[in-house]
Amino acid sequence: MKTYEVCVVGIGAVGAEIVRLLKRRKFPLKRLIILARAERREVIDGEPYTVRPAAPDAFEGMDFAFFAGTEGAKGASKTLGWEAVKRGCVVIDNGDDFRMDPRVPLVVPEINPEALRQHRGFIANPNCSTIIAMMVLAPLHRVAAIRRFVACTYQAVSGTGSAAIRELEQQVRAWAAGRPMTVEAYPRPIAFNVIPKIGSPVEDEPGWTTEEVKMRRETRKILGDPSIRVSATTARVPVFNGHSEALHVEFARPMSARRAREILLAAPGVTVADDLANNVFPVPIDASGQDKVLVGRIREDPGVEHGLALFVAGDNVWKGAAQNAIQIAEKLIAGA
C-alpha cells in the first residue's frame, strides 16, 4: 500500500482531532508532522509531538496538508496554502478564506465527490453547520429539489476552539461556587445562556452574521443550485461539543415524512433517530464522538406546500471539520 507524507497546520481543537482521526481511521501515513506559529512540544493521547514553525519550505515533500482552522478561522491558509500547493502538496483547508473561491472545490465527500476531479491542489471544507445540514438535506434534494429552507442552529463552544471549551467549564464552576463568571471568548457568559450571534456582521447584508450567510452561499455551491433560498439564525449554546439544527424545508415536489425516512435510512453518513413516543431523537451529547450525523423529528410541515421539518445533530469537530477533511484525502487516494 502506498503511504503519504502528511502535515497538520495548527494544533488547537480541530488540529488535535485530525491527528487522532488519522490514526483512528488508519490513514496510510508515511510520516506525520505538525506545524504551528512557534516550535514547541505537544502531547496528544499520551504521544509526544514536536511542533515545527509553519513556513513555505516546511511543505517540501508533503503529499497532504490539513489546515486546521476552527469556525471562521483565517490567516494560515491565506498565507501558506498556495505556497504549499506550489510545492506539490494537496491542501485541505478547514478555514473559510477560500470556500467561495471559484478555483477551490467545496466538498462533502458523501455529497459532491465529483467536485474533486477539477481541483487545483487546494480543496475547502465547508463550515461545520453547513456540513451537518447538507448530510441530511442533499439526499432529499436529489429526490424532490429544495426550493427553500430555514435553519436555526444551536452550536457548541468547541466550534470556537479550545479556549471557549475552557471558558464554559470555568463559568460553570464559578456559578456553582457563587463566584462571578469571567467573559473572554464571547460577548456574554455562555454558561446557562444562549448567544444569538456567531461570526461578525456582514456589511452588505445588514442584520446578518457571517455564519448565517455562509450557510446560504455554501449550500448553493455544494448543491450546484444558486436558486435555493436559505434563511439561517445561528446561536451559540452551552454545549461542549456537537451542533444541533432545526431545519424547515420547502421542496418543489411532494416529500412525505415516510418517504424522507426511507431516503435518509439509505443515506451514507446518516443515522435516523426518530421515535418521538420513546424519546428517540438527535441530541448533541449522542452525536459527539460519532462518525455520522443524526436526524429525527421528521414530520410534514403544514405551514408550507411540500414542506418538511426535521432536527439534526452532528459532531462539529469530527464530521463538521477534522473527519470531513480526512475523508476528502481518502477520496483523492481512492481516485474519486
Cell numbers given for 222: 455544494
* Residue matched to cell numbers 441530541: 283
Task: Tell me how far apart the alpha carbons of residues 336 and 293 are, in angstroms, rounded to a whole number.
Answer: 22
* Known catalytic residue at 7: no
Of 94, 70, 238, 75, the closest CA to residue 162 belongs to 70
Catalytic, out of 128, 141, 152, 306: 128
* Residue matched to cell numbers 483547508: 93
Of 201, 195, 215, the closest CA to residue 151 belongs to 215
Task: Tell me how far apart the alpha carbons of residues 219 and 131 are, in angstroms, rounded to a whole number.
Answer: 9
Backbone CA torsion sign across 234, 125, 30, 41: negative
- Looking at residue 195, the DSSP 8-state letter turns out to be B
Catalytic, out of 119, 141, 243, 306: 243
Task: Tell me how far apart the alpha carbons of residues 287 and 296 are, in angstroms, rounded to a whole number.
Answer: 12
Task: Tell me how far apart the alpha carbons of residues 329 and 287 are, in angstroms, rounded to a whole number.
Answer: 23
* Known catalytic residue at 243: yes
- Looking at residue 190, the DSSP 8-state letter turns out to be -
Give me the active site residues, please.
128, 243
